[in-house]
Amino acid sequence: MNEVDLNKIKVDVETRYIEDQSNPEQNYYVFAYTITILNKGRQSAQLLARHWVITDSNQKVQEVRGDGVVGEQPLLKPGEQFVYTSGTMLETEIGTMKGSCQMLADDGSHFNATIDEFVLSTPRVLH
C-alpha cells in the first residue's frame, strides 16, 4: 500500500461574485468560494492549516496562511467530506487563487492536499 492510496484528498471549488458587497468604482470586488474537501484515501486525515496564493490581474499577490478553515480543523474519515464557504477581495474584476491544505493522517504523517488554481471573475468578463 503506497502513500497515494492512504492519503488522497480531493478538493472541489465553486466561486461566485458578490455584487452587493463590491464597489467597482473603488476597485473593490468581493468573491465567495465554496470548498468541498473529500477524503478519498484509506485512512482518516485532519486538516490542520491552509495556505492561499491570491493574484489579481494587476499581478498583485496576497498570501494567506492560518490554522484550519473557517475556525475549524475537521477530521475526515475515509469517504467523508467537509464543505465550507469563505471569501476574498480583489482590486480587479478577475483574478486567481490556488493553495493547499496541510493534513495530518492517522498514522502521524503530514501531507499537503493541493488546491489547483481557479479563477475569480465578475460576470461577463470571461466568456
What's the grid cell of residue 21? Answer: 458587497
| pLDDT, mean of residues 45-66 | 97
- Output the CA angle 78-82-83, nearest 5 degrees: 150
Q: Is residue 112 a contact partner of residue 62, using CB atoms and an 8 Å limit?
A: no
Fold exhibited by the domain 3-121:
Immunoglobulin-like (2.60.40)
pLDDT of residue 114: 94
Q: Confidence band (pLDDT; 50, 70, 90) for 43?
A: very high
Res. 24: pLDDT tops 90: yes
- For 93-112, the pLDDT digits (tens) are 999 999 999 999 999 999 99
> What number of CA atoms fall less than 13 Å from residue 58's CA on the CB side?
7
pTM: 0.89
Res. 1: pLDDT tops 90: no
**Length in residues, the chain:** 127
Where in the chain are the domains?
Answer: 3-121
Q: How many CB atoms lie within 10 A of CB 97?
A: 22
Q: Compute, in degrees rounded to 10, the torsion defined by CA atoms 52, 56, 57, 58.
A: -120
Report the amino acid identity of residue 46: Q
